[in-house]
Amino acid sequence: MNMENNENFATEFDVPSFPSPSNTISHFFDPLSEEEETSKKRKKITALSNQFDTIPSDSFPTLYNLEVLALVMECNEGRHRILMVSDFFYPNFGGVENHIYLLSQCLLKLGHKVVVMTHAYANRSGVRYMTNGLKVYYVPWKPFLMQNTLPTFYGTLPIVRTILIREKISLVHGHQAFSTLCHEALMHARTMGYKVLFTDHSLYGFADVGSIHMNKILQFTLADVSQAICVSHTSKENTVLRSGLPPEKVFVIPNAVDTTMFKPAPERLSMDPIVIVVISRLVYRKGADLLVEVIPEVCHLYPNVISVKVRFIIGGDGPKRVRLEEMREKHSLQDRVDMLGAVPHAKVQSVLTSGHIFLNSSLTEAFCIAILEAASCGLLTVSTCVGGVPEVLPDDMIVLAKPDPSDMVHAINKAIRILPQIDPQEMHRRMKGMYSWHDVAKRTEIVYDRALGCSNQTLLERLPRYLTCGAWAGKLFCLVMIIDFILWRLLQLWQPDSEVELVPDIKQVECKRGKPTIPVKPGLAHPTLLTPLISSSYPNFHNFNSKMASCFHHSTTLEDDSAALFTASDDSPDQSTTTPSSSSRHSPPSSSYPSKLSYKLTVKNLSYTINRDTQMTLPGLSWLLNKPKRVDILKSVSFVAQSSEIMAIVGPSGSGKSSLLHFVSGRVRDNTLDPKTTISLNDFPITSPSQMKKICGFVAQEDNLLPLLTVKETLMYSAEFMLKEMSSKEKEERVDCLLRELGLVHVRDSFVGDEDDRGISGGERKRVSIGVDMIPDPPILLLDEPTSGLDSSSALQVIELLSNMASSKQRTIILSIHQPSYRVLQYISNFLILSNGSVVHNGSLESLEETINQLGFEIPAQLNALEFSMEIKEVLEASYNSKEPVLTFRELVEPSFATVWAEQTNGTFQELLRRDQSVPRTRYKLFFHEILILCTRFWKTIYRTKQLFLARTMQAVVGGLGLGSVYVKVKNDENGIAERLGLFAFSLSFLLSSTVEALPIYLQERRVLMKEASRGAYKTSSYMIANTIVFLPFLFVVGLLFSIPVYWLVGLNPSFTAFAFFIFVVWLIVLMASSLVLFLSAVSPDFISGNSLICTVLGAFFLFSGYFIPKEVIPKYWVFMYYVSLYRYPLDSWLVNEYWGRRDVCFSGEGPGSTCLLTGREILKGRGLESDSRWMNVGIM
């Protein structure tokens, strides 16, 4: 860029700060008069024509083309090359992401080149192109905490340098104070001499430890920044105070809103009831705790019995959602407070337009774009008066309140009174005039010009600025910058700038700086036809063709592979034409599921009886003579389930619903069934439970999932186990398809969680459980109480999902349900009602109503037919059993139909039965594959269990140092012998009991193990081997941390081999303890029982270890405990290790020259250890 022109431009538009957005926003571009514009254009044309004085006049087309070329020169002179850097960008969603994307799009339309740099998101890495050619570098750095990358200081230098050179960047623009990538990129850019700009989007305090550290880092970054931007005057004041940046370097440019996306409803909503909308992250900073107190008060002021009724809609998710749900339950506000959960940005407008008032309860806010979106949709805003919120809207569009519950209730009351005066369409029109991203881009353009006009300085000239950051911090910052400069120079030596490959520019959308482009007039030469003439005599226009096209084409020729930026998933079907695009989403992936045949499951005469022992009621032992009592669980149950339909098994508790599903899914031994029972699929008989397991997916009532895995990881591991014959790419496609089908794309990288660790919601967790069983694509899906424990909204979503799966994939779905709501009933085709194991009704809801009416009953208005049937189930059972079966037309022709159908589907059915049967020679390969996959899953689970790492490490370090300090420098005398034995015994007890904290993990994984092993996902032996492999290195480190301080503080055998063997035995001890806990967790029903059992077993082993009671004294009937004791063998190994190498050393004597009374050999002999049995003991352990 021409610096002289840039200086003039910056001086002409010298605006030290921008006015508050609460006033009408000016464009800061005084339009030139027509004479001035014409004069300026003639000067350009004259200058350009002088460049072509050698061209013959007949070769030059027209003056119009000179006018075009003049505008092209003007475009190229003012074009910036900007690198936007932040940790926060698509596919993540938030205010910063929104700002970067929309600002970049407007800058592209103004003719600038914009490139975005952010960290990788899941599998999204490398270079992606979005709408209008916006180029995004997803550098291979994974987020570490709160979507921030781990600080590396210099790790990003090579990548930043390469991007700056490749893209020919002229200015680096960083966003957000707590973005690690932003700080590092700005540091490297200044080292390399680039102009840098910083935008602060948040407010920070000054007192807490986190804010102090963040402010010091910000002070370091802004010490050498060219210019800075804040989104409000309050934010500017906060940034200046935190960073010490001169106020004249900080500009205020507010955020904006896309008013074309956020429009009010076409017709004004009825005010009965008044709907108050809250859309926010449900966290403390956003005032979720205030909502918990405010909502009940407002509902109390406006009960449903008065004329003015109030209802709340809350959209958003976060750790405080639980408190809001508890508040709703406590005050019985289920009908007045709707919890929507996470709302995709594409659906925010539809949520806003369903309300009248927008409530913002933030405790700190620099600007709050959500208020703009609500106002653009015509909503009156009630907000806490914090941060930059008072600057956002005029007083007649917002009601402000202190962040206090009573004041907020008063503000809501005031808003309800003035609500009739609000015109949503007028408010939207005013918002269009006040806020525009185009205006934000033009104002940012001015700041870019000022930044590029700043003078370049050497490192020595810049270092004094860092010294002002503090006595110690200043020196540290100088050292950081000097090292960065040295590393940059070394990189230049290793790879000179000239060797870095430059990338061609992508054609931009349009090229204009506040001026309209000139249309190509018919009959005249197209501007691109001038390329041969210009390239021959005007070398600076060697890329004229592409630049002309970029200036005079209003739409890009890039394929618009749109992937919604502001939706819950990458592949949302309802994409807008204004959303960004990504080249990785060229078209929606085709479903990995093949087209399906229809399946019919037939069950006839299913009966099941168990033998239950009678209780002891007679005196003495006469109860042993009583025969077991036979209990009928199911009594001749018959039904037919068709594909593309949902059959619901309904009945009171204990009616046999779960037992029926367990039978059909093959999870009951066949020898317990009645011989008359027949189960068939498309009239092909099922002869064993193993066949049913292969063709049925079974979703248990409990969600047996690992809480520390993400949603996608859970499904991917299930695919690894169940789809062994598929390639990795096919498995990935299957999982992606399932995520879309289940509506889980927006939580694909969220942890599943459980009751203790909050993860995804209950409804989403149930959908993950369904997805795990849908991985092998079974034709039949059985679900036991899928809506149990869910609220009505989540339950409806699950049933809707199942209905879509049944119809779209032609699946047969059978589920048990306890008490379905009205809305759920419409998705269920047939009902099988059970009572005490017998069928009461089998058919549709309409046929049930007809049966009830025929029996002379009238269904009450407040009940549906299903609920009423529970009250007359005995009458219905008698009526059902008295009916004679009536054959339908299809059943009359069933034999021939079955024959034809069997011929068509027999091959497919046999293929289903052969599923997962591997060729014998590949079984070893699959066995090792299972172990590898289980190892990776174990490692992720253990690594993410931070408390286990911390507990084991602290136990080892504290235990080692503690014991070492107690037995420090043990002497070689009789007291020392007793102290060594006591040390070994206590160390054994400590190490063997230190693994009890892993019991909850094993108990949790046991449920998952039983479920997956029963499905044939892997062998139990694979699980055990993988568990051992993962724990080996971790337990070795634990043993090392314990052994080093104990061994050398106590002063045990100074031989290195003895020290190494001591560590080896400690490692074996903790391995034995871990194995013992794993074994006992398999036989313990819960943590309390398991803990008691472990303490009992370890106590018994310690008692019979030979430390308390010698072997010779132990009663004969207890001698076996001496040989199986876990304490004996490591104790003997340590004693031999300590004294065998010092067999001739004297440990007891009167004095120098006297006779030795006790040697190491005699100590071992007294313990019955007359040979070196260390390795034999190791083998036994």
Q: Is there a single domain that holds both residue 445 and residue 424?
A: no
Q: Are residues 422 and 472 in the same domain?
A: no
CATH at 828 = 3.40.50.300
CA angle 1120, 1126, 1132 (to 5 degrees): 95
- Which pLDDT does position 338 carry in this prediction? 92
Residue 60 lies in a domain: no
**Same domain membership, residue 417 and residue 477:** no
| 146 and 241 part of one domain | yes
3 domain residue, yes or no: no
Q: What is the CA radius of gyration of the chain?
A: 38
Whole-angstrom distance, CA of residue 569 vs CA of residue 739: 9
Between CA 647 and CA 828 the distance in angstroms is 6
In DSSP notation, 62-131 reads -HHHHHHHHHHHHHHHT--EEEEE-S--TTS-SHHHHHHHHHHHHHHHTT-EEEEEEE-BTTB-EEEEEG
Q: Do residues 216 and 288 both lie within one domain?
A: no
User: Residue 104: how many CA atoms within 13 Å on its side-chain side?
Assistant: 33
Residues of the chain with pLDDT under 50: 1-34, 48-76, 508-595, 614-625, 884-909, 915-921
Residue that terminates a domain, selected from 852, 883, 914: 883
Domain boundary among 867, 883, 899: 883
CA atoms of 553 and 111, how far apart (whole Å): 11
Q: What is the pLDDT of residue 522?
A: 38
At 110, which CATH number? 3.40.50.2000
Q: For residue 546, what are the contacts with CB-CB under 8 A and spacing of at least 6?
A: 504, 505, 507
How far is residue 453's CA from residue 249's CA, in Å, rounded to a whole number?
A: 13
For residues 291 and 249, state if they share a domain. no
CA distance 440 to 26: 11
Question: Does one domain contain both 671 and 775?
Answer: yes
Asked if residue 362 and residue 243 are part of one domain, the reply reads no
User: Total domain count for the chain?
Assistant: 4
CB atoms within 10 A of CB 1047: 19
- Close Cβ partners of 887 (under 8 Å, ≥ 6 residues apart): none
Does residue 1154 belong to any structural domain of this protein? yes
DSSP state of 274: E
On whether both 119 and 169 belong to a single domain, the answer is yes
Report the C-alpha gap between 723 and 27 in whole angstroms. Answer: 60
pLDDT, tens only, 1134-1149:
888 887 877 777 777 6
End-to-end CA distance of the chain: 76
For strands 134-139 and 148-149, give the pairing: unpaired
CA distances from 723 to 698, 772, 916, 918 (A): 17, 12, 8, 11
For tokens 């949603």, the residue is 711
**CA dist., res. 163 & res. 590, Å (int):** 34
Q: Is residue 32 part of a domain?
A: no
d(CA 980, CA 987) in angstroms, rounded, equals 10
Same domain, 234 and 301: no
Residues in the chain: 1181
β-pairing, 171-175 vs 81-85, is parallel
**Burial of 876: CB neighbours in 10 Å, binned 0-12, 13-18, 19+:** buried
Sequence-ordered list of residues with C-beta below 8 angstroms from that of 334, at least 6 positions apart, any chain: 328, 791, 792
Tokens of 806: 């049944």
Whether residues 416 and 476 share a domain: the answer is no
Instruction: Examine residue 33 and state whether it is found in any structural domain, yes or no.
Output: no
Residues spanned by the domain of 1095: 934-1180
Residue 1139 region, left (φ>0) first, then alpha (ψ -120 to 50), else beta?
alpha
Q: How far apart are CA 589 and CA 598, in angstroms?
A: 24
Query: Among 434, 453, 479, where does a domain finish?
Result: 434
* Residues 637, 608 within the same domain: yes
Residue 360 resides in a domain: yes
Task: Answer for the pair 995, 1145: CB distance below 8 angstroms, yes or no.
Answer: no
Task: State residue 305 phi and psi, 5-degree precision.
Answer: -85, -15
Please write the tens of the pLDDT for every residue from 292-323. 999 999 998 888 767 788 999 999 988 899 99
pLDDT, residue 575, reads 36
Domain-located, residue 834: yes
Both tokens of 487, joined, read 């590393």
